[in-house]
Structure 1
């Protein structure tokens, strides 16, 4: 009888412990979860978002031009949780120019400000190549490596997973994948957006099972950070801008709800930042052209050494290397000019960003200027 009483007390203790954990969890972790889905074009980001929601809310694009694919945010209740998914275009593809993506980066930041509760990094079941590694590097550069502590690796194309193998076993076969998953706290899951839609005999190879496991991993991330979200300086700046815009709208609006004010504020901030980015781009483009022209003209008047250095950097080296050469040559020749240009270093630094994009276009201008130099300096 005493043993039965002890067993009942143990069960009551377990029940009470479970109830306390639930209360603690509900206090720490908000019901709303904001999640960014990241990965290169074609990895299955939009399909994953639809799989999580259990319906088609995100447009699936079969083309690879990421500029035609706009960021999208949708909210739905999934398994008792309010989930906001932010689907992104191929922001981190290795084939595109970063400047072409700026509006989408701005949109991503305005949608998730002040920060997401989790990141889903989407990879295909397949070989983990240098291209995938480059995508991870770009993600860390954009958000910082700290973001991996809030991340889950989600593999798509689960039908390619060998029969009877779990995704953790698959990850262990690759040192690169194993290292990445470790940085993400060991969190990885697998779905199949085509074949695992219906209930399978093997529970593991079921999207329903995998989605629930994925959401549990996100819950654990939030618990580990006391219900907080990832943020950084850029996201905090965007959030401050949104809040200022909210206050401005609130003072002038009529009967707009808080949700409507928030959406309008995000839209306004997005437009302002894209417009500012566009003006900065044009300023840098003009600045670079003027600086490069100054080097060529100065070289014509002084010596041909500068011409050779800039030409080698322009066609053989990276954009930062070209900017460095420009700075050195401009500084060297500036002392011979009257009046000398001011704030050379600051101006050249501002010009670094667009250098890579306009190198091919500038080659034509260079050839024209160099032909002029040859006719004047070495006829």
Structure 2
């Protein structure tokens, strides 16, 4: 899949590893804000384009999707913004890590990246380490990686592509060429060139990115018809902004409706009523009530609910009242509610993908 002359480079990593500083180091100027005090909530995805050694690069600085304590509802809008900024797909993805112990948290970052973009994205990935001053004197990054089984495995899966910078201390000119950012940035840009060439000048894409690009193209056409003197770049920027707003608003009602008490109460009441019919038909003993209500065939549940709704159309209030008055259910309700809530959440995860709001 061919791309434009400008290469899109997506930076991913947990908060505090130095993604924004790395982007500034690559550009050789302060372009991205460093959020030492504001934290991830004060940081949103941003894309900037500059010419580096004769190459046009767009760096997409993504916020900390991998931070603990942030709900999916908080992260989801930024994921949408990230997707719209790098659509139709990144030519290269920089997995940014610190020169420090590779823990389960760092491994979780890699796992989450693969969940979002698929294993195929590692064909486009480069591992970039920050805080290079932590390397012992005379040690190169490849030797450091060789000391960790987890890092060695990651590097192998990324085709051996890795680099190291130090956003703070390697700005000065030193006798040691290896500890100069200028040297490593030039090497990194060369690696990106080789990576893009090796991938037939294509970029990583998937269904989510493809749908985002389609929506952006359609919005571009709409803007062209209504705008007068906007440049192609301005139209593209406006289209991305409009699609981001539309997709963010489109996804929020799903989240709100999921947790709506009336919806959950109604579904719980309907399924419990279905269970009473199922129990009567199969002569299940009271001691297996809770176990069987969770294991009842979903096709049976759907079938009977459809019949009940079409023939009786009971109100949620009436149905709930009749169910709660049943002695067996009164005793089992605490456990039923807990297990059923888990079931509803699992069902929702299968039906709706919060990271793909373009459906």
Q: Please, which of 28, 32, 41 is the counterpart of residue 67 of structure 1?
A: 41
Report matched runs for 1:306-345 at 5 Å: 325=294, 331=300, 335=304, 339=308
C-alpha displacement at 1:326, in angstroms?
Answer: 8.6
- Distance, in Å, in 1 between the alignment partners of 2:178 and 2:90 is 28
Deviation per CA, 1:183-210, whole angstroms, max 9, x where unpaired? 1110111111111111121000111111
- Distance, in Å, in 1 between the alignment partners of 2:18 and 2:287 is 53
Report matched runs for 1:42-53 at 5 Å: 42-53=16-27
C-alpha displacement at 1:258, in angstroms?
Answer: 1.2
* Greater mean alpha carbon deviation, residues 43-52 or residues 294-303: 294-303
Contact preservation (8 Å) 2:131, 2:167: yes
SS of alignment partner, residue 259 of structure 2: helix
Residue 225 (1) aligns with residue 199 (2): yes
Residue 285 (1) aligns with residue 282 (2): no
C-alpha displacement at 1:256, in angstroms?
Answer: 1.4
- Distance, in Å, in 1 between the alignment partners of 2:248 and 2:305 is 40
Alignment match, 2:137: 163
C-alpha displacement at 1:289, in angstroms?
Answer: 4.9
SS of alignment partner, residue 89 of structure 2: coil
Residue 136 (1) aligns with residue 105 (2): no
Change (3 A) 1:352 1:293: farther
Residue 258 (1) aligns with residue 232 (2): yes
Contact preservation (8 Å) 1:295, 1:306: no
- The alignment yields a C-alpha RMSD, in angstroms, of 3.2
Residue 199 (1) aligns with residue 168 (2): no
Q: Which is helix-richer, 1 or 2?
A: 1
- Distance, in Å, in 1 between the alignment partners of 2:6 and 2:257 is 41
Residue 102 (1) aligns with residue 76 (2): yes
- Distance, in Å, in 1 between the alignment partners of 2:300 and 2:177 is 68
C-alpha displacement at 1:154, in angstroms?
Answer: 0.4
Contact preservation (8 Å) 2:9, 2:91: yes
Show structure 1 runs of 5+ residues with no match.
1-27, 311-324, 358-379
- Distance, in Å, in 1 between the alignment partners of 2:42 and 2:4 is 34
Show structure 2 runs of 5+ residues with no match.
280-285, 312-343, 355-359
- Distance, in Å, in 2 between the alignment partners of 1:74 and 1:272 is 22
- Report the TM-score, using the length of structure 2 for normalisation: 0.78
Alignment match, 1:145: 119
C-alpha displacement at 1:333, in angstroms?
Answer: 9.9
Residue 78 (1) aligns with residue 52 (2): yes
- Distance, in Å, in 2 between the alignment partners of 1:171 and 1:162 is 13
Alignment match, 1:57: 31
Change (3 A) 1:125 1:306: farther
Contact preservation (8 Å) 1:151, 1:184: yes
- Report the TM-score, using the length of structure 1 for normalisation: 0.74
Number of residues paired by the alignment? 312
- Distance, in Å, in 1 between the alignment partners of 2:140 and 2:17 is 20
Alignment match, 1:127: 101
